[in-house]
Amino acid sequence: MVRSKMQKCKDCGAYGLSTTCKKCGGTAQAAGPLKFSPQDPQAKRRREYQKVTDPKWVENLPSPKVEEE
Ligand SMILES: [Zn+2]
């Protein structure tokens, strides 16, 4: 399944609609970021997938670096 229609080649940077580059035969991936919706209809499923309710999940989050004095 392709994330978005426009694909960009990782090797030569050519744009196309296929996940294989027509110019060099390299791998192409989505050229733009995933569509974002503030309503986020998949949020509940994603939270379940990432096990957000698990206490250990918090440890996986990136935290700002605390400067030591
Ligand atoms: Zn290419």
* Cβ atoms of residues 16 and 7 within 8 Å: yes
Residue 13 lies in a domain: yes
pLDDT of residue 24: 94
pLDDT truncated to tens, each residue of the chain (69 aa)?
455 788 999 999 999 998 899 999 999 988 887 777 888 888 889 889 889 888 888 888 888 877 776
Ordered strands of the 28-30 beta sheet: 15-16, 7-9, 28-30
**Residue 1's domain spans which residues?**
1-31
How many helices and strands, by DSSP H and E, does the chain display? 1, 3
Global pTM? 0.44
Best CA proximity match to 31, nearest among 13, 11, 48: 13
Question: Domain total for the chain?
Answer: 1
Best CA proximity match to 18, nearest among 36, 6, 1: 6
Cα 6 to middle of ligand 1, angstroms: 14
Residue 68 lies in a domain: no
Residue 53 lies in a domain: no
Residue 44 lies in a domain: no
Residue 24 lies in a domain: yes
Cα 12 to middle of ligand 1, angstroms: 4
Cα 35 to middle of ligand 1, angstroms: 24
